[in-house]
Amino acid sequence: MKDERRSFESNWMRSIVDAHAADLTRYAASILYDADGAKDVVQDVFLRLWQEPRANVEGHVLPWLFRVCRNRALDVRRKGGRMKRLDEASAERAATDAPGPETVTEQQDSHAQILQMMQALPENQQEVVRLKFQNGMSYKEIASVTELTVTNVGFLLHRAINTLRARVVASGE
């Protein structure tokens, strides 16, 4: 029955949406720096998923979703032009500005600090760091999302972690 199949597919979709929509939105937002734009991107991603034969994605839905999401978000960012990554902007700021009078308020906890340091990394490093530590992906999965080689991913992560370690040590002194 078509209806049954549809409802079956629907339930499958729904479970995937429930499981990943929020993560994908956050990921898209990290590229777009626009929470609402991110939701639109994610909806597009799920539309694509509907069009994709299920057999093609089953078993690796997560990296598939993130890859499509990443491409779509990068597309939107390219077209939109208006959106700017938080990291780019804050890197600029870090480069040009002396600490302002409100720096004190920024000295929150170490979690916020590490995220701030992370935002000073090159974009490709930030991306793998995020996929690894926020989305818990393996090197392989990250490679599939970013269309890099596994070795490349390992290298980027390694560099990122070393840089962050050095900065944490420096900030503690």
Q: Which residues within the stretch 22-51 sit at the binding site for other proteins (CB under 8 A)?
A: 22-23, 25-26, 29, 33-44, 46-47, 50
How far is 6 from 160, CA to CA, in rounded Å? Answer: 45
Burial of 20 by CB count in 10 Å (0-12 exposed, 13-18 middle, 19+ buried)?
A: buried
- Is residue 157 near other proteins by the rule CB under 8 A? yes
Q: Which two tokens stand for residue 9?
A: 């597919």
- Residue 74 phi, psi (nearest 5): -65, -40
CB of 111 to other proteins, least distance (A): 4
- Is residue 66 near other proteins by the rule CB under 8 A? no
Please report, as residue ranges, which positions from 124 to 143 form the binding site for other proteins (by CB under 8 A).
129-130, 132-134, 138-139
Q: Which two tokens stand for residue 47?
A: 């539309």
Site string for other proteins, 79-118 (x = CB under 8 A): xx-xxx-x--x---x---x--xxxxxxx-x-xxx-xx--x
